[in-house]
Structure 1
Amino acid sequence: MQNDLSLSAITAGFMAVVIGFASAMAIVFQAASAAGATAQVMASWVWALGIGMGVGSFALSWVYKRPLIIAWSTPGAALLAVSLGGYSLAQATGTFVMVGVMLLATGLSGLSDTLTRRIPPALGGAMLAGILLQFGLKTFSAMATAPWMVGAMVVCYIVLKGWRPRLAIVGVLVLGVCWTLVDGRLSDAEWVWGLTTPVWITPEFSLQAWLGIALPLYIVTMTAQNLPGVTVLKTTGYADQPVSPLITTTGGLTTLLAPFGGFTFNLAAITAAICTSEEAHPDPAKRYVAGLSAGVFNVLAGLGGVTVVSLFAALPVEMIAALAGLALLPVIGHALHTALQTPDSRDAALITFLITASGVNFADIAAPFWGIVTGIIVQLWMEKQRRYVS
């Protein structure tokens, strides 16, 4: 490994961690708040996520000698933020364990590719877009109370997105923090410095939680996270990478760390692209150092979870809303494109999208479940009618 070390690979791993935390940590905190988590429990979530991503990335990159990056599910966190309102923290933890067991079973059975193909991409995209819609809307509704700050963040995002896309969210975060420092809304006296103490939450299980949260979370993780993650590997020179062991690893990590707040782990896509690119190292065989680097920095971020929580708690709610919404804009756009690009699936996808976005709740089961189930029924009916007519 000493011969393979390079500053570019170490830097790529560091940037992957910075971008991952900067772009999605606000969404994780919203999910934790929806579950009724205290500041100490939120810090435990950061600890679990950092440790899980760090250990997973380091171990897989070391074993396979290629940059294999494990991340938390950002769309999954968004789903939790809009779905956990009616559940206790123990019930929420139970859903995390359920998802981990399902991911573990998927990986061990070798059915990863088969199961993801069973879910029509258009309906998966529609459900994801419906989940994330509220985050995009909150970006602009935050302008009502903080027009100059949020407006500046939006302009910063647009400028950097066209100039240096990878730096867009990092730039928005830096601008927002600087803005709040200048106007006196953020003081470093509010920050807490120290190591995180993980908090165990005993999980509770229910059928409603499995149907309303765990199953949609599993579907979102497999379709919106693991599939793009596999695509990144295939398009950057690692097409021969076995997928099932990776899914097994994410399932095992989720199951083990769920009681501490590790809600879902999956293959990274955007941050993985940083570590698998030529910018990490010209030689694909030496890019695994970027994965090792990402693992180390993720563990360090997890250990300092209490500091991360105190920082985000000190930030204005408008800034957090704008940061989360802007970070999810590319995901929303891609999900809508996937949902509507196929004419034969468009009606079913629109119904899935609208039901999911409505937040409707029947029998204590959250809207994403009803959206995907209704969409599948409509899709099957439409296909049957087309065959009958033809």
Structure 2
Amino acid sequence: MMRTRFFSASHLSAAIAAMLVSYGSAAVIIYQAALTFGSTPEQINSWFTSLGIGCGILTFYLSLRYKAPIMMAWCTPGAALMIGMQHIPLSDAIGAFLFAGIIMLIVSFTGLFNRLVNLIPKTLACAMLAGILINFGSKTFVAMQSQTLLVGLMLLTYLLSKIRFKRYSLLFMLIVGFITAYFEGLFHIEEIKWSNPQLVWLSPSFDIQAMISVGIPLFITSLVTQNMPAITILRMHGYTDVPEQKVITSSAIATLLLAPFGAFKINLAAISSAITMGADVDPDPKQRYKANLCLAFLYLLAGMMGGVIVSLFNALPNELLMALAGIAIFGTLLSNLIESWKDEPTREASLITLLTSASGMTLLGIGSAFWGLIFGLFTYHLCYYIERQKVA
């Protein structure tokens, strides 16, 4: 009788692919978000270390506990949302991260998860995120002004590689960017150095404006773009026995424990999680969780290399980082724009949400993402009321 190996090459390859997709588009965005709040290199190291440890431990425990491919990750759209939120001290941002984690814990623990999702039309949540991402993605072309060759080649590589190598387009773009930056004398390799992983305590402060401007949009983005789609993907692949309340509660607790070290939001991974759920990973659905056990160790390894990642970004030109982060969210931006206009009766509300969120306005000290959702919800219910009056 043949003995089956506990891990196979397909498990490992799926884990590597999921890690590359997750990290490849997110690392530079997280780095930019940390800089927005004035984080030092040591503190950014702590951001990456805490995220790697948190996602690694939770992915391993939940996948092994429920024998299902459960992938935890950071909220990349939430990190993108925070870029550009100027004049918010790091301590206030940490307090907002904790606030977002507390709301998620309450929503999950009380069973309000599905009810709250239904209260916020998905079209408006997508419009809010799209509004933030439009400004973020447009920085690609701002960077092109000063580094035309570098950014132009990166964009061209991304577009051409999507013809036949769609899954690896970001990787090819990154390679071309590195090579071009090196030959242009913009890549300072000598600055890349080993730095021990660090967990730096970042004392939180609780400012009401920061909690509303950062915490609430971060919570909504995590809820609508990460946790809810991830649960749906698990169900679609037949993993109906995974207790969503316990899984989401676990992620909220992990956020509360690690936010003071820079782990701004830990949640279920959405799109990238599907990489470890297909039949090519393992013919037996009950064995696919093993790919996530491999992924957990890769997460922990990445966490241990947090300092190297920070020094790598410091060695690269800012224009490359802007282009990489901007182009990486093209797909997310496009899908959210499409989703924003999908429901015809809510299109005007979606438009107002998008324009307000993209404006960068600050009202009563509260940022545009929150007001975009508020104005959008008001318009949504007003239009609904008008339509009912017409029918009556």
TM range (shorter): over 0.9
C-alpha separation between the residues in 2 aligned to 1:289 and 1:171?
Answer: 28
Alignment of 1:144-293 (within 5 A): 144-293=145-294
Alignment of 1:1-390 (within 5 A): 3-83=5-85, 85-390=86-391
Q: Secondary structure at the match of 1:162?
A: coil
Query: Residue type of the partner of 2:250?
Result: T
C-alpha separation between the residues in 1 aligned to 2:144 and 2:317?
Answer: 12
| Dislocated runs of 4+, deviation >6 Å | none
Q: Secondary structure at the match of 1:86?
A: coil
Q: Deviation at 1:241?
A: 2.4
Question: What does the per-residue CA deviation read over 1:233-260, in whole Å, with 9 as the maximum and x for residues that have no partner?
Answer: 1222223422111111110111000000
| Kept in 2: contact 1:82–1:131 (CA 8 A) | no
C-alpha separation between the residues in 1 aligned to 2:332 and 2:312?
Answer: 25
Question: What does the per-residue CA deviation read over 1:329-388, in whole Å, with 9 as the maximum and x for residues that have no partner?
Answer: 111111111111211001111001000000100111111111100110111111001000
Q: Deviation at 1:113?
A: 1.6
C-alpha separation between the residues in 2 aligned to 1:142 and 1:318?
Answer: 5
Q: Deviation at 1:2?
A: 7.6
Q: Deviation at 1:5?
A: 1.1
Query: Residue type of the partner of 1:359?
Result: G
C-alpha separation between the residues in 2 aligned to 1:138 and 1:51?
Answer: 31
| Kept in 2: contact 1:28–1:77 (CA 8 A) | yes
Segments of structure 2 that go 5 or more residues without pairing to the other structure are none
Query: Residue type of the partner of 2:178?
Result: V
Name the CA shift for 1:162/1:283 in 2 (closer, same or farther; >3 Å): farther
Query: Residue type of the partner of 2:212?
Result: L
Q: Deviation at 1:213?
A: 1.2
| Kept in 1: contact 2:68–2:242 (CA 8 A) | no
C-alpha separation between the residues in 2 aligned to 1:229 and 1:179?
Answer: 37
Question: TM-score w.r.t. structure 2 length?
Answer: 0.96
Question: TM-score w.r.t. structure 1 length?
Answer: 0.97
Q: Deviation at 1:222?
A: 0.4
**Residues 94-103 or 184-193, more deviating:** 184-193
Segments of structure 1 that go 5 or more residues without pairing to the other structure are none
Q: Secondary structure at the match of 2:70?
A: coil
> Percentage identity across aligned positions?
37
Q: Secondary structure at the match of 1:71?
A: strand
| Kept in 1: contact 2:188–2:316 (CA 8 A) | no
Q: Deviation at 1:164?
A: 2.2
| Kept in 2: contact 1:348–1:378 (CA 8 A) | yes
Question: What does the per-residue CA deviation read over 1:117-150, in whole Å, with 9 as the maximum and x for residues that have no partner?
Answer: 2110111011000111112111122111111121
RMSD over aligned Cα atoms = 1.4
| Kept in 1: contact 2:361–2:368 (CA 8 A) | yes
